[in-house]
Amino acid sequence: MPPRPRTMSRDPTPAVSGIVERFAGLWSALAGAMLAWSMVRPYLPRHLLPDRLAGGSLLRCHARSLLAGLLDPYLTVTLAEYGGGEGMRRGAAYERAAAYLGARCAREARTLRSESARDGGGRRRFVLRVDDGEEVADEFRGAMVWWHAVPAPHHRHGGPRCDAPGEDAGRTYHRLVFHQRLRDLVVDSYLPHVCREGRAIMEANRRRKLFTNAGERYGKSSWKHVAFKHPSTFATLAMDPAKKREIMDDLDAGRRRIGKAWKRGYLLYGPPGTGKSSMIAAMANYLDYDIYDIELTSVSTNTELRRMFIDTKGKSIIVIEDIDCSLDLTGKRRSRQQPLPGPADDDADAPPPEPTSIGRVTLSGLLNFSDGLWSACGGERVIVFTTNHAEWLDPALIRRGRMDKHIEMSYCCFESFRFLARNYLALDAHPLFDDIRAQLQEVDITPANVAELLTPKRAGDDEGSCLAGLVEALREAAAAAAAATKNATSNNIQEDGEVVEDE
């Protein structure tokens, strides 16, 4: 016989009836407790009760939490672009989450943003990022979580608890939403996994950049950048090999420093054309660092200079070129004994005092930038000043501790010439080398000029013609220097004769 079909009863089963009775008893007990508390609380001494319990806020808080958990069981973690533990710096957690989402969840997103990068072989490729306003899902160990790329000031909704109050205008967020039962998994395992993977992706996609300070029209960031591609290395730098080895050892020692944020200062000084900019590029290529080139005359205040420094990242070289031309830093500071001008000293016909700097960046602001408290924010930074006249700078600016190493970029010597001849002409010896050695001891010529003279200009130029051109240029420079010395001597003799006649 076929089984007899069951009939649906309108009465609840005993199990369901028991659950209903338990909930009814629970709510009755809670209602009775609340009623009893409302009657007893006015008669209890307030100083014997905790503040939150005395005001009833503790019970209200627990009631709201219970109600929110019943209605919305999802939790939210917000990774802000700015703020939080990073202060005024762009959040590292935000950047790593963006890199992770671009690599892991880009296939699910409907709107993507492309960025250019280079692979290990130097070939250009495009990296996809999840665009602002997109929502993607991710699975981790069988658990599902949701990411929302929240733009500012407008937000897109569509996931559980997609908004949070109190967001700052002009800032973007990555918001992670997950069920409350996954709290331990997300906090202990998933978020560290996102940070590790995102950092590895950023390192793989990293390309070095050359930054320059931008105006306010470029938005929040103090910098705009281009890709940094410079062929200069220590292997191609025309410099004494012992001095190059000393600089590389100093850079290596700084990178191995343990126990404090690494910040190193270098002063490069010497005549124009002696390779100061090439030295900076060689340092950046050796360390694999970005370069921040500060145009100091376009910085209006010390506060702006400090903000620019905060906006730089680690593993970078911060450069101020021709600092003697950027500010009046020649050491002419008012002495303590020199009285300040008072009303009685005012003269309507007196010329206005000379400004102490171009713009409003002061020597004090620059000193704090190079060796103040703010300069210790972050690590792995190299600060480089270049100048044609180191003797013109204020001693406080270039003292040891601010500029830890002073590197003179001098005129071309014979060792530098041999290096250039090997690079440009593939020569290690030639009959004209002795003549060039003697001329270089008498004539000041920059490595840039020597390199230009050694470069073949026409199809028929060979090693001999290039070296002969260099010898001729050195002889002309020696003759010009001798003529200038002779003219200066005759002028001095003539001036001395005029003084004698006047007496």
Question: Which pLDDT belongs to residue 393?
Answer: 87
CA dist 101 and 99 (Å) reads: 6
Residue written as tokens 């005359």? 297
**Model's pTM, two decimal places?**
0.65
Q: Is the pLDDT of residue 217 over 70?
A: no
- Which residues are paired to 293 by β-bridges? 212, 319
Residues 280 and 384 sit within 8 Å (Cβ to Cβ): yes
Task: Please list the residues that pair with 266 across neighbouring strands.
Answer: 384, 405
For residue 118 the two structure tokens come to 């280079």
Which residue in 118, 141, 289 sits closest to 211, CA to CA?
A: 289
Q: Going by DSSP bridges, is the β-strand pair 263-269/405-408 parallel, antiparallel, or unpaired?
A: parallel
Higher pLDDT: 162 or 140? It is 140
135: part of which helix (H) or strand (E)?
strand 135-140
* Residues 146-156 pLDDT 10s: 988 877 554 44
Mean pLDDT calculated for residue range 392-409 = 87
Look-up of token digits 């939790």: 75
Q: Residue 336 — pLDDT band, cuts 50, 70, 90?
A: very low
The half-sphere exposure of 483 on its side-chain side, counting CA atoms within 13 A, is 6
Q: Which residues contact 302 (CB under 8 A, 6 or more apart)?
A: 360, 361, 362, 364, 365, 368, 369
Strand partners, 269: 387, 408
For residue 149, what pLDDT is reported? 80
Report yes or no: 295 and 354 within 8 Å, Cβ to Cβ: no
Q: Are 308 and 213 in contact (CB under 8 A)?
A: yes
Tokens of 224: 């705009």
User: Domains plus CATH for the chain?
Assistant: 74-207 (no CATH), 211-330+358-408 (3.40.50.300), 414-489 (no CATH)
- Range from 12-26, 36-50, 436-450 that averages highest in pLDDT: 436-450
pLDDT digits (tens, 9 = 90+) for 435-474: 999 999 988 999 989 999 998 888 888 888 999 999 999 9
Least confident of 229-238, 245-254, 332-341, 368-377: 332-341
Note the pLDDT of residue 168.
Answer: 46
CB atoms within 10 A of CB 274: 23
CB neighbour class for 224 (10 Å; exposed up to 12, middle 13-18, buried from 19): middle
Q: What percent of the chain has pLDDT over 90?
A: 23
**Residue 83's pLDDT is what?**
61
Tell me which of 335 and 109 has the higher pLDDT.
109
Which residues touch 388 (CB under 8 Å, ≥6 apart)?
269, 270, 271, 272, 322, 324
Mean pLDDT, rounded, for 182-186: 93
| Cis preceding linkage at 45, omega within 30 | no
State the DSSP code for 236: T
pLDDT exceeds cutoff 80 at 371: no
Name the 3-class secondary structure at 291: strand
- The pLDDT value recorded for residue 352 is 41
Contact by Cβ (8 Å): 199, 287: no
Question: Which residue would you say has higher pLDDT here, 121 or 233?
Answer: 233
- With contact defined as beta carbons under 8 Å apart, do 312 and 292 qualify? yes
* pLDDT > 70? residue 308: yes
Is pLDDT at 383 greater than 80 in this prediction?
A: yes
Q: Are 78 and 97 in contact (CB under 8 A)?
A: no
474-498: pLDDT as tens digits: 999 888 888 888 787 777 666 655 5
From 226-230, 272-276, 342-346, 447-451, the region with the lowest mean pLDDT: 342-346
pLDDT at position 205:
75
